């Protein structure tokens, strides 16, 4: 991803968010120097990907409080920003994880540090969340590429790369690491309707890395498996329950089920922060139902009769039994999971 | 489908083919009064749907021979037209069935009828194939709606309606019949990438009939099944082997597999002419790999990085064990199938 960072925070506090809705045709940044712009960018999916949403939200929190003139004002603004950000995307647990980490640091330091230093500490904490993610991605890439040794043709869904994490990526980070080790032959990229993260974003990253890929429609996996064209499937996660049940981009559940049927390795790659130990199983994971317009409109055009109705679940739920391994920065976990 | 017939053959031999690639936004007919135009319309998918391809090809054959001045010329033109048409779409068996029926009639009558009457007989045979299809659709609709009694929320894939058969349709004909009997609540319409037959064509027909529908992305079925929103899935077929194995639009195999997993009724509806008794199982069904541009381009725009590669199987293969029933004009067949 030389040249295109999905977010940029300058030393003089300008915050730029790459508008991923316009990729790959247009590379354009949104300037988001206040809390409302950041909330809007997350909600409208200008920025997406569970870890990157967390990082962006943390930076957003900083923008929410950075001009405070007293601790009381800072706390009021913090609370306001926290509320606004936590309502943007309900499924991604990293968002809440990042917000809570920011809150913890703020709470710990607010009575110790003078206001100016407290604000600086909050800024540094947001940046450290990003830096940690980069390290996490490297560890996942290493563990995942070891686990998948010998599997050369990988299918992936959605985008789990730099554009999703700010690092090398999770599932896509594994793929990039395999490529660097000379252990990758081809990537099948699910186009990932309706937002087309695969066709637009994953293809964009793979192209930049010089990795061979073929784009397929999401409904193709069964046929590819039947023709023995795929050795393993690697995806990310938006939330993982204590028992390993996983919420991820719509389509993941079908992919996992078809892998089970065909005896194909199905791997989930995600940072620890994706694991929500407060929920036992997927029964407790809320699933976001998004605006039906996002299904009805493709490339800015309606291809349906006027006033058509639609139903759009943005995520689905995959039971732990279908997952061959969950790979985090702590290593490779196998079923039965007990996080 | 009041007002919009997918093909029109006038008394003075003008042949119009509704350009389904432009629906639902534009209703436009292609004038196809010669064999090359008909072949092109089938190959480029201006007209599609297995039974309608057969009917259109039969009419195309007639246009291939109608100006012949001798029996020798007719036979030469017939052969040429037959070759051209049989190369348009390799998976749809109805195409070959219709062409062979035309050939049989031609062979039976060529030494009995004078040239002018022979040409008229060939024309009448093409029309009779269309008329028969209409009757077949009614019978399938009746049998299917009986079989599915009590199942009110139906999911369907691709387009299997008037735009696919020239009658009320096969799978969609069942849905229309259920609606007429007051036994239908809602249709979930798979958008059906890449050609979007569901989002564009099935929605267009349902809208005209006043039937409630919701469009979903093809990768949503698992989540809908998990939420118990669907009572049965009904699809068409492009070719059915002697043992019931079925080739149909890409995505069907995943749908059928997910139905099996969730205990949801999965029905294939198709005319007898779709059954190819010369092949024992799906191992012998050739599957069409189409131009990758059809995946890469959506609504006329490329949404991928330049020079992206793609893989596009137009159909997939579903084993008979996954199919709860196959419904033809002869009634309801259940596994194990032995056609």
Would the pLDDT of B14 be above 70? yes
A238 is catalytic: yes
Provide the CATH topology of domain A140-333.
Rossmann fold (3.40.50)
What are the helix (H) ranges across chain B?
35-43, 50-65, 71-86, 93-109, 115-147, 162-165, 171-180, 203-209, 221-226, 252-262, 293-296
- CATH 3.40.50.2000 describes domain B7-136: no
Q: How far is A233 from chain B (nearest CA, A)?
A: 16
CA distance A315 to A251: 8
| B-chain residue closest to A296, CA distance | B215
DSSP A197: I
A217, A254, A299 member nearest B194 (Cβ)? A217
User: What are residue B189's phi and psi, to 5 degrees?
Assistant: -110, 110
Confidence of residue B116 (pLDDT cuts 50, 70, 90): very high
Provide the token pair at A142.
Answer: 């290493």
DSSP B314: S
E-strand stretches of B230-308: 232-235, 239-241, 246-249, 265-269, 275-276, 297-298, 301-302
Q: Round to the nearest angstrom and report the end-to-end CA distance of chain B.
A: 32
Would the pLDDT of A1 be above 50? no
Interchain contact, A299 vs B295, CB within 8 Å: no
Provide the token pair at A190.
Answer: 């699910």
Which residue ranges make up each domain of chain B? 7-136, 140-333
Nearest-10 crossing angle of helices A115-147, A50-65: 170
**Please, are residues A266 and A255 in contact by the beta-carbon 8 Å criterion?**
yes
CB < 8 Å to B250, chain A: 217, 219-220, 223
**Please, are residues A176 and A234 in contact by the beta-carbon 8 Å criterion?**
no
Would the pLDDT of B222 be above 70? yes
The ipTM (two decimal places) reads: 0.91
Q: How far is B46 from chain A (nearest CA, A)?
A: 16
Provide the token pair at B170.
Answer: 């096969």
CB < 8 Å to B261, chain A: 257
Provide the token pair at A233.
Answer: 């499937």
Interchain contact, A215 vs B296, CB within 8 Å: yes
How much of chain B, in percent, has pLDDT values that exceed 90?
A: 92
CA distance B165 to A30: 49
Per-residue pLDDT tens over the stretch A198-246: 999 999 999 999 999 999 999 999 999 999 999 999 999 999 999 999 9
Residues 6 or more apart from A150 whose CB is under 8 A from it? A183, A231
Q: B247: helix, coil or strand? A: strand
A24, A203, A304 member nearest B199 (Cβ)? A304
CA distance A64 to B277: 70
Interchain contact, A214 vs B317, CB within 8 Å: no
For residue A85, the surrounding DSSP H or E stretch is helix A71-86
CA distance B320 to B333: 11
Q: How far is A227 from chain B (nearest CA, A)?
A: 10
DSSP A219: G
Q: How far is B102 from chain A (nearest CA, A)?
A: 34
Per-residue pLDDT tens over the stretch B301-335: 899 999 999 999 999 999 999 999 999 999 999 99
Interchain contact, A287 vs B223, CB within 8 Å: yes
Interchain contact, B287 vs A250, CB within 8 Å: no
A with B: how many residue pairs have Cβ under 8 Å apart? Answer: 175
Residues in chain A: 339
Of the residues A238, A245, A276, A316, only one is catalytic, namely: A238
Chosen for mutation from A155, A157, A213, A223 (greatest number of chain B CBs closer than 10 Å) is A223
| B-chain residue closest to A212, CA distance | B309
Per-residue pLDDT tens over the stretch B275-308: 999 999 999 988 888 899 999 988 788 999 999 9
**Please, are residues A270 and A326 in contact by the beta-carbon 8 Å criterion?**
yes
∠ CA B246-B249-B253, nearest 5°, is 55
Instruction: State if pTM tops 0.80.
Output: yes
Per-residue pLDDT tens over the stretch B166-180: 999 999 999 999 999
């Amino acid at each position: 991803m030389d040249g295109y960072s999905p977010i940029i925070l300058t030393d003089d506090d300008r915050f730029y968010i790459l508008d991923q809705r316009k990729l790959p045709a247009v590379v354009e940044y949104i300037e988001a120097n206040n809390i409302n712009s950041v909330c809007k960018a997350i909600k409208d999916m200008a920025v997406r990907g569970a870890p990157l949403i967390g990082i962006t939200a943390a930076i957003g929190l900083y923008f929410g409080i950075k001009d405070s003139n007293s601790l009381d004002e800072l706390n009021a603004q913090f609370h306001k920003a926290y509320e606004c950000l936590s309502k943007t995307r309900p499924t991604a647990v990293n968002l809440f994880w990042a917000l809570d980490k920011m809150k913890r640091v703020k709470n710990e330091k607010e009575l110790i540090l003078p206001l100016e230093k407290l604000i600086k500490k909050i800024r540094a904490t947001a940046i450290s969340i990003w830096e940690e993610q980069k390290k996490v991605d490297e560890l996942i890439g290493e563990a995942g590429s070891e686990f998948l040794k010998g599997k050369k043709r990988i299918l992936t869904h959605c985008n789990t790369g730099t554009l999703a994490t700010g690092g090398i990526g999770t599932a896509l980070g594994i793929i990039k690491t395999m490529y660097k080790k000379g252990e990758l032959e081809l990537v099948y990229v699910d186009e990932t309707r309706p937002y087309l993260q695969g066709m637009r974003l994953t293809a964009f990253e793979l192209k930049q890395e010089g990795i061979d890929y073929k784009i397929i429609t999401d409904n193709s996996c069964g046929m590819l498996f039947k023709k023995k064209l795929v050795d393993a499937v690697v995806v990310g996660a938006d939330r993982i329950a204590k028992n390993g049940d996983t919420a991820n981009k719509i389509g993941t559940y079908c992919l996992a089920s078809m892998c089970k049927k065909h005896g194909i390795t199905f791997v989930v790659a995600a940072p620890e922060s994706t694991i929500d130990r407060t929920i036992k199983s997927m029964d407790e994971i809320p699933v976001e139902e998004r605006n039906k317009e996002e299904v009805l409109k493709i490339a800015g055009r309606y291809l349906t009769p006027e006033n058509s109705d639609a139903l759009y679940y943005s995520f689905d739920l995959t039971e732990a039994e279908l997952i061959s391994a969950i790979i985090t920065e702590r290593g490779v976990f196998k079923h039965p999971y007990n996080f």
